[in-house]
Structure 1
Amino acid sequence: MMMGKSSLLASFLSLLLLLSSCVVGENPYKFFTWNVTSGDIWPLGVKQQGILINGQFPGPLIDAVTNDNIIINVYNSLPEPFLISWNGIQQRRNSWEDGVYGTNCPIPPGGNFTYVMQMKDQIGSYFYFPSLAFHKAAGGFGGIRILSRPLIPVPFRPPADDYTLLIGDWFKANHTDLRYLLDSGRDLPFPDGLLINGRGQYGNTFTVEQGKTYRFRISNVGLATALNVRIQGHTMLLVEVEGSHTLQNTYSSFDLHLGQSCSFLVTADQPPMDYLIAVSTRFTSTVLSTTAVFRYSNSGGKSAGPPPGGPTIEIDWSLNQARSIRWNLTASGPRPNPQGSYHYGLVNTTRTIRLANSAPVINGKQRYAVNSVSFIPADTPLKVADFYNIQGVFTLGSIQDNPTYGPGYLQTSVMVSNMRDYVEIIFENGEDTVQSWHIDGYSFWVVGLDGGQWTPASRDGYNLRDAVARCTVQVYPKSWSAIYMPLDNVGMWNIRSENWARQYLGQQFYLRVYSPANSWRDENPIPRNALLCGRASGRRTRPL
């Protein structure tokens, strides 16, 4: 049946309205261009070669809103290959953008790569860092903050300002010298100092106004040590941990382990003067510390006194604090498991994985291992080799689900798993130092932490109601930590120690989460701009 002109015009206008609503409703795009260079820096008063992004150390802050599309074109002006990874950004269905060597070919010197990411269903505080060649010891890191969408209620009033603090230990030696020590089979020395936003003692000032409340996002971007943070004369109200709104407990000081991030609200409710933000090492015989200034805008400049002291070796104190961090079940916003969907504690796990760290000497050199396997990189990124079905790069199942307690050995270790499995992972630490573990692509519930050896009876003490969901968990000396995690993100995902010397010397492996459907619904196709290297050189990517 033929349509009249008026009907055609009405249909055309309806189509235009539909298309315009689609355009308006699309999630925003934010574009960045980064040039990565080396340059002189003096963070501890000694000149050394640092890694700069657009001339900055630390690098630029990424500000985003839930579901924003982030496009970052990275130019590598260093004399060696380079990659950036995004600590805590889940990359839903998109491990192609994870930025570690197991998934991505490095950006060659003089080359560039454009990361295309979506902050899908995420809020919170995170950071990015360089993942290759011990570059993290030279800088190249920066903060990421993801705000809730405007119509999503947040369980606290908007703060007067939002500050990011990147805290971490630091070495005066260049990263190339530190890498040489590790390559030669030796371990790193004790760090030389601590930094806040790339600066040493009194190097930063945060200005506040009397009576107002401020958000402080803090990330431990260091290499070797857990840190404690406190603000002189003020309390800190914890509101978020790595994308999860928490019960709003008040702390006078707080432990932040390697790779972890959190948010506090701090109210400027004291007499107007200069106060100190103090950061110090935890669980170390030698205590390093540094400070920044928390300055009232109407301060006369008078200091409130010496920096407040913090805890040092007290493990039980830190363990009890970790247990006090709970999920805010009444808060709205993106989170891994909305309570209206299902409750993580009522779902039966389908698999238990026990991971034990160790420090073997292999071929006369210091290495680090997981379940006796010390990871060695392959000549081709594992994700790329898996996609093109290139044989001989890695072996599925080359790391076991349980500790062997045997001698350490070298292997490109990949654990097999299936999409929609629901796993229990126990990190077991038989050593005398605190450990920190991160899983790319995922957020998980920390259901238990305790001392001694884990047994099935340990499950009786699990928190199956309001355990916090996060992406990095600490494991105390001679202790264990247990997590629950739904495998709902297809890809090749890095599980690693956040102690960067341990990661560099093999304390990591890859979890291959597989779906037989081979559907774009489960995983994005290989990007058209994917860099191909190793045995995949010369192959073609399929279009998006």
Structure 2
Amino acid sequence: MAAIAKFLAILAVIALASTAQAADPDQFLDWVVTFQNLPLLGTTQRVIAINNQFPGPTIKTTTNNNLHINVTNRLDEPLLFHWNGIQQRRSSWQDGVSGTNCPILPGQSWQYNFQVKDQIGTFFYYPSINFHKAAGGYGGIQIANRVVIAVPFLPPADDFTLLAGDWQLRDYRSSRSRLDKSQGIGRPNVVLMNGKAPYIAGGSNANFEKFTVESGKIYRFRISNVGTAQSLNVRIQSHKLCVVETEGSYTAKTCFDSLDIHLGQSYSVLVTMDQSPADYYIVASTKFSSGSLNGVAILHYQNSNTAASGTIPAGPDPLDVNFSLNQALSIKWNLTTGAARPNPQGSYHYGQIPITRVIQLSSSSVTLNNQARFAINGQSYLTPDTPLKLADFYNIDGVFTRGSMRTSAVGSPVMETSVLELDYKSFVELVFVNPENEIQSWHLDGMSFWVVGFGFNETWSPSSRSKYNLVDAVSRSTTQVYPRGWTAILFSVDNVGMWNIRSQCLRRQYLGQEGYARVFNPENSTRTETWIPQNVLLCGKAIGKTIPGPRMLGIDEIDF
């Protein structure tokens, strides 16, 4: 009788789980990806458009929704889309990078299926291979909270997406070819705001970005740096930017005259329309390089007849690292609010969790096979024809070696398919080390991390831990690393899969500054990782492999 009762309990749990999954809303999107010619700064630029839009359509969804995005590739090159900052809980099969997915071939369609779970906030997507990001194809992602989750600010009058990023007028294929030949690609030519050229007072450019607002109201701006090379400083003339969220985490409300947003980062800011009705400049300026470029949009008060004119508002010294560092340290996690779950963010006492592993990843410029490359700990990533995820699933030899990524800067430079082994449920301290003079930006797929410390013009050592913020550091997925400095992060290895670690600088990533973290659960349970998708694309050494049918939830995978 006891066995029968237990069996019936198991069936009840399975039924409940199935009902809960079925109750989560499904959201279907159809994308057709094409090239389009865009008039930009007196020239015609070829861009990647989605449904004839550049930037692509903003994905507006809600926590727990199941997204189904059918992508038709009408380019003449293979294509993948990556969801920057979306953690793909239990399913790196949908991550859309070269280590997890075979590309969508020209003329082919493929559907991404994933759940936006345990996240809220501001993210973006972009094409992840073949240097495509330099041609566009990007768009915003907004994940709203469920009604049972409180938001730590009143609903804004409107919710705007602002995608700002540096841009080159050279065609992306030309830049790609030059990099392949160890030739430079030069500095960007312009900063675009939502794919549009800068507003010029009294000028002929009528195709600039404009946001229309009403006096006395508060608006949410979701700002992402979608560029390929440069950090940005963003400001709105005569208005404060009050940071309230970044990459899925609510922050304590902190107001600034301007905000540094580094490559790949996203922020939500609240802006109060408390000025006289007129038009005001919105500016995004490149940082940490001489000859700053300005992207300019317009904040237009409804019924205003006063055009923006005169000099655009100056930001901080673009070479002042201390300004940027001090601002980053002042942005704190909001410990009193929930995020995607009802329990407060502050219930995660990350500073009290014992560290089980310490890793250092050091950036470097190397020459391998007479080609200029970039590396992590001397390893410049070699992209195999077979995605690592497929090789892992099918036990295909000769694609990668587990644990091949170096965890300190030792050894001669090599070109290698480097993979870091991370133990499931471990807690890791990772230090990004930047011995170079160029500011860098780093991203980890699949997991959020706490950015606990920065160093500028100094070497990291164990004594540097005395400066860590172990209470309310921001949890995010992309962080800057200042020149000749370091950035320390802490994270829980809580997501099984194959996850990309990369530079957010496109030329660095393209030339080898990336790797993968393999998080493996020896229990081989679908409770911690979804089964291989039935529509999975096969390529490389996986061609001809049989796609096994769905694995059902087993008795051993039920929590009692």
- In structure 2, relative to structure 1, the CA distance for the partners of 1:315 and 1:409 (3 Å cut) is same
Could you state the TM-score of these two structures normalised by the residue count of structure 1?
0.94
State the percentage of identical aligned residues: 53
Confirm or deny: 8 A CA contact 2:93 2:532 kept in the other structure: yes
1:444 aligns with 2:441: no
Larger mean CA deviation between 327-336 and 532-541 belongs to 327-336
Amino acid at match of 1:89: I
Distance across 2 between alignment mates of 1:336 and 1:485: 21
1:173 paired residue among 139, 155, 170: 170
Is the aligned partner of 1:94 residue 2:91? yes
Letter of the aligned partner of 1:420 in structure 2? K
SS of the equivalent of 2:499 reads: strand
Read off the aligned partner of 1:431 and give its amino acid letter.
Answer: E
- Partner SS, residue 247 of structure 1: strand
Aligned residue number for residue 396 of structure 2: 390
Instruction: Spell out the pairing of 1:156-235 with structure 2 (5 A cutoff).
Output: 156-202=153-199, 203-235=208-240
CA distance in 1, matches of 2:148, 2:527: 27
**Structure 1 unmatched runs, 5+:** 1-14
**C-alpha distance in 2, partners of 1:336/1:402?**
39
Contact 2:149 2:342 in 1 (8 A): no
In structure 2, the partner of 1:153 is 150
Q: Please give the per-residue CA displacement for 1:446-479, whole angstroms capped at 9, x wherever unaligned.
A: 0101120000011111100000000000000011
Q: What is the alpha-carbon distance in structure 2 between the residues aligned to residue 355 and residue 204 of structure 1? A: 39
**2: CA distance, partners of 1:81 / 1:244:** 34
Stretches of structure 2 that go unaligned for 5 or more consecutive residues are 1-11, 200-207, 551-560
Cα distance per residue 1:76-128 (max 9 Å; x no partner) = 11111100000000000000000001000000111111000111011010000
Note if 1:267 corresponds to 2:263.
no
The answer to whether structure 1 residue 130 and structure 2 residue 127 are counterparts is yes
CA contact (8 A) 1:273 1:304 kept: no
Structure 2 distance, partners of 1:337, 1:538, is 47
TM-score in terms of structure 2 length: 0.92
Say if 2:106 is the partner of 1:106.
no
* Number of the residue aligned with 1:366: 372
In 2, Cα distance between equivalents of 1:342 and 1:261: 22
Alignment of 1:335-354 (within 5 A): 338-339=344-345, 342-354=348-360
Letter matched to residue 447 of structure 1: V
Q: Distance in 2 between matches of 1:268 and 1:314?
A: 29
Q: What SS class does the counterpart of residue 409 from structure 2 fall into? A: coil
Structure 1 counterpart SS, 2:252? coil
Would you say 1:247 and 2:244 are equivalent positions? no
Specify the alignment match of 1:507 in structure 2: 513
Equivalent pair of 1:274/1:302 in contact (CA under 8 Å): yes
**2:507 match: secondary structure:** helix
1:59 aligns with 2:56: yes
Show CA shifts across 1:326-351 (max 9, x none). 00001122279955754100001100
Give the residue type in structure 2 aligned to 1:54: N
Deviation digits for residues 168-218 of structure 1 (CA, Å, limit 9, x no counterpart)? 000101110010011111232111110000011121110000100000000
The CA deviation at 1:304 is: 5.9
Kindly state the Cα deviation for residue 310 of structure 1 after the two structures are TM-superposed: 1.2
Q: Of the candidates 409, 413, 433, which is equivalent to residue 428 of structure 1?
A: 433
Amino acid at match of 2:221: F
1:148 and 1:224 map into 2 onto residues whose CA distance is 32
1:355 CA drift (Å): 0.4
Structure 1 pair 253/515, CA: closer, same or farther in 2 (3 Å)? same
Do the aligned partners of 2:249 and 2:333 also contact (CA within 8 Å) in 1? yes
The residue matched to 1:206 in structure 2 has which SS?
A: strand
Structure 2 distance, partners of 1:153, 1:175, is: 43
The equivalent of 1:540 in structure 2 is: 546
Indicate if the aligned counterparts of 1:227 and 1:282 stay in contact, CA closer than 8 A.
yes
Letter in 1 for 2:147: P
Contact 1:444/1:485 (<8 A) preserved: yes
1:517 paired with 2:523, answer yes
Which residue of 46, 49, 61 corresponds with 2:46?
49
Displacement of 1:25 in angstroms is 7.3
Residue 478 (str. 1) matches residue 484 (str. 2): yes
Indicate whether 1:286 and 2:291 are aligned.
yes
1:295-374 equivalences in 2 (<5 Å)? 295-303=300-308, 305-311=310-316, 312-334=318-340, 338-339=344-345, 342-374=348-380
CA contact (8 A) 2:35 2:48 kept: yes
Aligned to 1:5: none
Give the CA RMSD over aligned residues.
1.7
- Describe the superposition over 1:251-306 as per-residue Cα deviations: whole angstroms up to 9, x where unpaired: 00010000000000001110000001011000011111121000000211332642
CA distance in 2, matches of 1:160, 1:516: 49
Aligned to 1:6: none
Corresponding residue SS for 1:187: coil
For 1:214, the aligned partner's letter is Y
Query: Given that residues 222 and 258 in structure 1 are in contact (C-alpha distance below 8 angstroms), is that contact kept between their aligned partners in structure 2?
Result: yes
Instruction: Summarize the Cα distance change of 1:502–1:297 in structure 2 as closer, same or farther, 3 Å threshold.
Output: same
How many Å apart are 1:22 and its aligned residue?
Answer: 4.0
**How many pairs does the alignment contain?**
526
Q: Cα offset for 1:49?
A: 1.5
Greater than 6 Å deviation, 4+ residue runs: none
Partner Cα distance (1:192, 1:454) in 2: 35
Matched, 1:80 2:77: yes
**Cα distance, 1:459–1:77 mapped onto 2, change above 3 Å:** same
- Counterpart CA distance in 2 for 1:294 and 1:35 is 32
